[in-house]
Structure 1
């Protein structure tokens, strides 16, 4: 009898726990159209495609804590040039960047960076998996890029696609 009472109490407790759970509010950030994990290459006007020979590297675009729909973070998470900048964005137009120079917030490497002509192109590229993925493009200037290329006021053209999670699409 004691075993039966324990089972009934246990079952009652489970029912009470599950009955009290509320469905969470699901919402998108104000920059959801721009947010993503991307595989990109850094190309150069003079030195060509993948000028530094690093191949595709990840970059990340994501909302700021303000969630105001007017700015995003752009970071390479130390995959190429070690930069993380907060830049203006227009999610409705799918654009980001400006002619303003901003300071990267990577500890120990707070260089000046300019992100211009950023654009997301929805479903613009077909990947090996057959999935149509969004494409990204932007131009980047680093204050120390001239040290690497020997060209004053130099910039890199960055382009790539949104990560899909399919193994055959990864680099």
Structure 2
């Protein structure tokens, strides 16, 4: 029995060390000052009219890219308020940043805005163009300020301010052949859409302010 207890404690100790190492790897990020989960409100571009208030389900994720470069992050709206899931390149630091460019052609696609059409193509090299909202976006002004906000329970927390412009227009898709190994029936030829290009319509620009604070992880601070 004593041997079993010793083995059990050794297992727990080893598991704890391994868990700590995993935590260190997760947070070993060159964009740590940006990264986190944020509760947020949505305002008009003057930060006056409130469109969407705090809600537990409405959260914003900011995290590093696979390249783990400084000032290069993903921003994702988990509740699809916009919706938004896009890569951004910033000038500045987490306390004061903005997109390196506002030019549509030099921005990354919003992945949720270029998802394939619902209808399937019936042949190769077919084309379809659809109007899409929020194809790309840029940050006009951003600030993540340490301990400058307050949670619902009164605790100090990092505040978030982002002024974002969203660009809309149309997206073109071209059909491609589905590889044999991915077909529903290997004997039946199958096709699917592939993103081709995006066209910008500057009359559709929308600008908003995202205002909120970092999620602390404590239940009393959640909305």
TM exceeding 0.5: yes
Partner residue, 1:64: 65
Segments of 4+ moved more than 6 angstroms: 18-22
Contact 1:30–1:91 (CA<8 Å) still a contact in 2?
Answer: no
Aligned runs of 1:14-33 on 2, under 5 Å? Answer: 23-24=17-18, 25=21, 26-27=24-25, 28-33=28-33
Aligned length: 158
Cα displacement (A) at 1:63: 1.1
Q: TM-score, normalised by structure 1?
A: 0.72
Aligned runs of 1:86-101 on 2, under 5 Å? Answer: 86-89=87-90, 92-98=93-99, 99-100=101-102, 101=107
Contact 1:34–1:120 (CA<8 Å) still a contact in 2?
Answer: yes
Higher strand share: 2
Task: Pick which of 93-102 and 80-89 moved more.
Answer: 93-102
| SS of equivalent to 2:38 | strand
Stretches of structure 2 lacking an aligned partner (at least 5 in a row): 116-131, 170-202
- Out of 145, 148, 151, the position equivalent to 1:121 is 145
The CA RMSD over aligned residues, in Å, is: 3.2
- Cα distance in 1 between the residues matched to 2:38 and 2:217: 11
| SS of equivalent to 1:102 | coil
Partner residue, 1:85: 86
Task: Pick which of 122-131 and 84-93 moved more.
Answer: 84-93
The 3 A distance-change label for structure 1 pair 18 and 113 is closer
Partner residue, 1:154: 206
Contact 1:31–1:91 (CA<8 Å) still a contact in 2?
Answer: no
Stretches of structure 1 lacking an aligned partner (at least 5 in a row): 1-6, 146-150
Contact 1:129–1:166 (CA<8 Å) still a contact in 2?
Answer: no
Cα displacement (A) at 1:17: 5.5
The 3 A distance-change label for structure 1 pair 23 and 134 is same
Q: TM-score, normalised by structure 2?
A: 0.57
Contact 2:59–2:79 (CA<8 Å) still a contact in 1?
Answer: no
- Out of 28, 52, 55, the position equivalent to 2:53 is 55
